[in-house]
Structure 1
Amino acid sequence: MKSTLVQYVKTYLDQRMQTSLDAMNAAQESANGESKSSAGDKYETSRAMGHLDRDMHSRMYHQTREERKLVERIDESINFKKGALGAFITTSMGNFFLSVSIGQVNINEKSIMIISPQSPIGALLIGKMVEDKFSFRGKEAEILAIE
Structure 2
Amino acid sequence: MQEIKDSLYQLCLKFIEERINTAETALKQAREASNDDTKSSAGDKYETSREMMQQDIDRNKRLLIDAEENQRVLASLKDAPFSESARNGSLVYTSQGNFYLSISAGQLQLGKDTVFAISAVSPIGKLLLGKEKGASFDFNGKKYQIKEVA
Structure 1 and Structure 2 fold alike (TM over 0.5): yes
In the alignment, what sits opposite 2:68?
65
Q: Does 1:48 align with 2:51?
A: yes
CA offset digits 1:16-72 (Å, max 9, x no partner):
011011101111111111122221222222122111101110011001101110110
- Secondary structure of 1:89's counterpart equals strand
> C-alpha displacement at 1:14, in angstroms?
0.9
RMSD of aligned alpha carbons: 1.2
- Unmatched 5+ residue regions in structure 2? none
Separation in 2 of the partners of 1:114 and 1:88?
9
Query: 1:88-103 counterparts in 2 under 5 A?
Result: 88-103=91-106
CA contact (8 A) 1:17 1:64 kept: yes
Q: Which runs of 4+ in 1 moved over 2 A?
A: 75-80
Q: Does 1:131 align with 2:134?
A: yes
What is the identity percentage for the equivalent residue pairs of Structure 1 and Structure 2? 35
Aligned length: 147
With normalisation by structure 1, the TM-score equals: 0.94
Q: 2:111 aligns with which of 104, 108, 113?
A: 108
CA contact (8 A) 1:32 1:47 kept: no
> C-alpha displacement at 1:96, in angstroms?
0.3
Separation in 1 of the partners of 2:86 and 2:55?
40
In the alignment, what sits opposite 1:118?
121
> C-alpha displacement at 1:108, in angstroms?
1.5
